Structure 1
Amino acid sequence: MSSLHIEIDPASGFCFGVVKAVEAAEDELKDGTQFHSLGDIVHNNMEVDRLKEMGLQPISNDDLSTLKEKKILIRAHGEPPITYQKAKENGHQLIDATCPVVLKLQSRIKKSWEELKQQNGQVVIYGKVGHAEVIGLIGQTNNEAVIVESMEDVSTIDVNKNTHLYAQTTKSIDEFKRIATYLKENINANCVFKSFDTICRQVAGRLPKIVLFAQKHDVVVFVGGKKSSNAKILFNKCLESNKQAYFVSNVNELKKEWFDKPIKSVGISGATSTPPWLMEKVAEQIEIITKDK
């Protein structure tokens, strides 16, 4: 038996929005009936594959118009208004599992846009272009909001307009503050500028916790989906704190040489889209490959 101490980060795993979406899917699948999710229910291929085996089939937005009268789950990331319109036109039954935090943000952005368009103003969203949540957010503004991915994009913002700044829920608080400070200092003095920190604290609160977790272990294995922006942010923070941190999406990506040096402990952490069962499988596999240590 390995004397190596292996710990799964107690702060890791699904956020409540993802838990809500996965539970909604599992409830519908209990009777063995197949149904669809609009896009991958979560940015984790292993969890998507598990639910596929139970009968949940991901479909694209294009499929909304070609399919008729299907049961379709809206995932935690949310959707733009056009999705609901297409679903209604084609007789689909929607199971809306949009995260409550995202739902509230969509409502606030829509209200800002309606207010600002009367003033020739603009909504600015700090987020990742093409990300599912951002597509849903920009849809609240008739796709007119300005998207900035980082401070490098602030030159695209018209500083001579009334401006409301929002953030995708899983983005960096520090970068949001930098963007907000820049706009506060550069927006025309005759214009109104308001910033709304809409970053989810359940997600943001993970950053200081993962630093402490990474520092207490010799090696850290971070488990996440390659599509997950949250996973990238958390892993990078992890790597800053521990140079012996490694990113895997499944157990097959583990490498024995990571554990060859004299080490006493391994920490396993994951994104808000990483299922707990997958981190447990990673822990079991590490036990196997280090059994002689």
Structure 2
Amino acid sequence: MKIEIDPASGFCFGVVKAVEAAELSLKENELLNCLGDIVHNQKEVDRLDKMGMTSISTDDLKLNTGKTVLIRAHGEPPLTYKIAKENNHKVIDATCPVVLKLQQRVKKSYETLSALNGQVLIYGKKNHAEVIGLLGQTDNNAIVLESIEDINSVDLSKPTHLYAQTTKSVDGFQDIATYLEKNINEGIEFKSFDTICRQVSNRLKKIDAFAKKHELIIFVGGAKSSNAQMLFKQCLQSNTKSYFVNDASGIKHKWFTPLPNSVGICGATSTPPWLMEEVAEEIKKITDN
């Protein structure tokens, strides 16, 4: 039986950057505070916690002073930096470069449109860490659209700029952009900016091909990861014998009866490579017995 780990799965470069920054800081200091979970994978969070990293909230920033604080790849709103400075925290900013550029663009649009009584729209998941950071660039005045169904919250008589959370669906963004192009009032400015990260969005096509390539698929991901849910949904569409696990302990022996010819192991942008390797080792133990 062949076992293959998907070479396109695992941490995106933004998460790699944040984890490397955390590991470097932990080697130099005994303690490190991360604003929120560094990645939506509990096993990776636990690994770094054992090295001395603690996940904290923005409220914790106000209760303590002089700590070393990591800003994860999702980014943070300007208020977080202000609170950190006021409380004499050392900030390690590991915001993904793609997210950082998006924050700057959203802020510029908001400043321009404010003078025109316009509006900034963000296609994204409400209360997602990245979206909270983007909203902060607009003094929390941007409108968040989770899908085309939220389009009624848009005033079609106002100048409008549309952006997207970096990990959202390209098709979903295009649906909203196309609707607004057709329906915004005549003579009113509308601009759409496809700010979806292609390293993330291209994984849908790659994981589709990978799932079709194997008889059985084991998808490794965190329960809180929206990216994991999206990619696993694609796996199921491509291969009905796809199973979601958080780690090797979630593997069931019955999945391997009868023994498949090939097993593919894949994961989300928040899935550490070492976790997929552990799953591969567990499958070898099950199928060798």
Deviations 1:71-105 (A, max 9, x none): 00000000000000000110000000000000000
CA contact (8 A) 1:32 1:54 kept: no
Return structure 1 stretches of 4+ with deviation > 2 angstroms: none
How far 1:227 moved relative to its partner? 1.1
For residues 247-262 of structure 1, what are the structure 2 equivalents within 5 Å? 247-262=244-259
The aligned counterpart of 2:11 is 14
> Relative to structure 2, which stretch is displaced further, 259-268 or 203-212?
259-268
The aligned counterpart of 1:182 is 179
> Relative to structure 2, which stretch is displaced further, 106-115 or 224-233?
224-233
Structure 2 residue aligned with 1:115, among 92, 112, 116?
112
How far 1:160 moved relative to its partner? 1.2
| AA of the residue aligned to 1:278 | L
CA distance, structure 1, for counterparts of residue 235 and residue 186 of structure 2: 41
How far 1:32 moved relative to its partner? 5.2
For residues 188-267 of structure 1, what are the structure 2 equivalents within 5 Å? 188-267=185-264
CA distance, structure 2, for counterparts of residue 256 and residue 123 of structure 1: 51
How far 1:151 moved relative to its partner? 1.2
1:88 aligns with 2:85: yes
CA distance, structure 2, for counterparts of residue 117 and residue 94 of structure 1: 30
| AA of the residue aligned to 1:72 | V
1:131 aligns with 2:163: no
RMSD: 0.9
How far 1:287 moved relative to its partner? 1.0
Query: What is the percent sequence identity of the aligned residues?
Result: 64
Shift in CA distance, 284/262, structure 1 to aligned 2, threshold 3 Å: closer
CA distance, structure 1, for counterparts of residue 29 and residue 192 of structure 2: 47
SS at match of 2:269: coil
The aligned counterpart of 1:158 is 155
Deviations 1:33-79 (A, max 9, x none): 11110110111000000000000111011101111110000000000
CA distance, structure 2, for counterparts of residue 61 and residue 27 of structure 1: 23
Deviations 1:111-139 (A, max 9, x none): 00000011110000000000000000011
CA distance, structure 2, for counterparts of residue 138 and residue 241 of structure 1: 35
CA distance, structure 2, for counterparts of residue 30 and residue 62 of structure 1: 26
The aligned counterpart of 1:61 is 58
How far 1:233 moved relative to its partner? 1.1
| AA of the residue aligned to 1:162 | P
The aligned counterpart of 1:286 is 283
| AA of the residue aligned to 2:208 | V
CA distance, structure 1, for counterparts of residue 254 and residue 10 of structure 2: 26
CA distance, structure 2, for counterparts of residue 202 and residue 190 of structure 1: 36
Deviations 1:238-279 (A, max 9, x none): 111001111111111111111113410110001111000000
CA distance, structure 1, for counterparts of residue 92 and residue 245 of structure 2: 31
**Where do 5+ consecutive residues of structure 2 fail to align?**
none
CA distance, structure 2, for counterparts of residue 229 and residue 58 of structure 1: 19
**Where do 5+ consecutive residues of structure 1 fail to align?**
none
Total equivalences in the alignment = 289
> Relative to structure 2, which stretch is displaced further, 203-212 or 95-104?
203-212
CA distance, structure 2, for counterparts of residue 286 and residue 126 of structure 1: 39
SS at match of 1:119: coil
1:277 aligns with 2:279: no
Q: State the TM-score, normalizing by the size of structure 2.
A: 0.98
